[in-house]
Every structure is written in structure tokens, then in C-alpha cells.
């Protein structure tokens, strides 16, 4: 490794991490909103009632809150998982670049020692 890693790549990685973190927050908020809307609907709309009573929280969680009444929550959860995986990849990539810088620094120090 004779060349120092590109510092512009570091800036790009950090900026992309920020963007993905914001996107994760947005998806999480959409999930919370969808969950709240689903709970409100399930507890007020009689078509979801069982024996003239709203479904229990446990039943709501198992049956509707995982995927949502219309399936939208499932899609949002998949989107969140993809964004979390992307963020983890970016963090790992940045860590690799840091290691490359450390290796380059060590090699440069070794070269200086060898010339004395």
C-alpha cells in the first residue's frame, strides 16, 4: 500500500452515513405513525371487534401491527432493515479506510526508519 487512501472518500462516506441516519429516522417515524393509526382503527372500528369488543393488544401486535392492516407496515419494516444494513455497511467501509490509513502510516514510518 503505497498511496494514502482518498480523503474525499471519507467525506463521502460520512455524509452518506448522515443521510442514511436521517432516512432511518424518517422510516421509524412512519412506522410509529402507521402503528398508531392501526391501533386507533382497530380499537374504534367495529369490523375488527371480536365478540363486540376491540381486539386485545397481544392480538393486535401478532395479527396487524407486524405488517399493518393494509400491508404497509411490513414494507416499511423491510425498508428500515435495508437502511440499517446500509448504515452498517457504510460504518464498516469507513472503518476499513481508517485501517488503511493506519497501515499507510506504519509503512511510512518503517520507510523512514529504513533510510537511517
Instruction: Convert the pLDDT of each residue in 18-45 to its tens digit.
Output: 999 999 999 999 999 999 999 999 999 9
20 inside domain: yes
Q: How many domains does the chain have?
A: 1
Domain assignment present for 6: no
Q: Is residue 47 assigned to a domain?
A: yes
Is residue 3, in this structure, part of any structural domain at all? Answer: no
User: What's the pTM value of the predicted model, to 2 decimals?
Assistant: 0.84
The 10 Å CB-count burial string (b at 16+, else e) for 30-57 is: ebeebbeebbeebeeeeebeeeeebbee
Asked if residue 1 belongs to a domain, the reply is no
Asked if residue 2 is part of any domain, the answer here is: no
Amino acid at each position: 500500500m503505497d498511496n494514502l487512501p482518498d480523503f474525499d472518500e471519507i467525506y463521502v462516506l460520512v455524509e452518506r452515513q448522515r443521510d442514511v441516519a436521517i432516512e432511518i429516522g424518517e422510516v421509524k417515524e412512519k412506522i410509529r405513525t402507521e402503528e398508531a393509526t392501526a391501533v386507533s382503527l382497530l380499537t374504534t372500528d367495529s369490523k375488527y371487534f371480536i365478540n363486540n369488543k376491540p381486539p386485545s393488544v397481544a392480538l393486535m401486535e401478532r395479527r396487524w401491527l407486524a405488517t399493518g392492516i393494509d400491508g404497509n407496515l411490513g414494507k416499511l419494516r423491510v425498508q428500515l432493515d435495508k437502511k440499517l444494513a446500509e448504515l452498517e455497511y457504510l460504518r464498516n467501509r469507513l472503518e476499513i479506510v481508517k485501517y488503511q490509513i493506519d497501515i499507510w502510516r506504519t509503512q511510512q514510518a518503517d520507510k523512514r526508519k529504513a533510510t537511517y
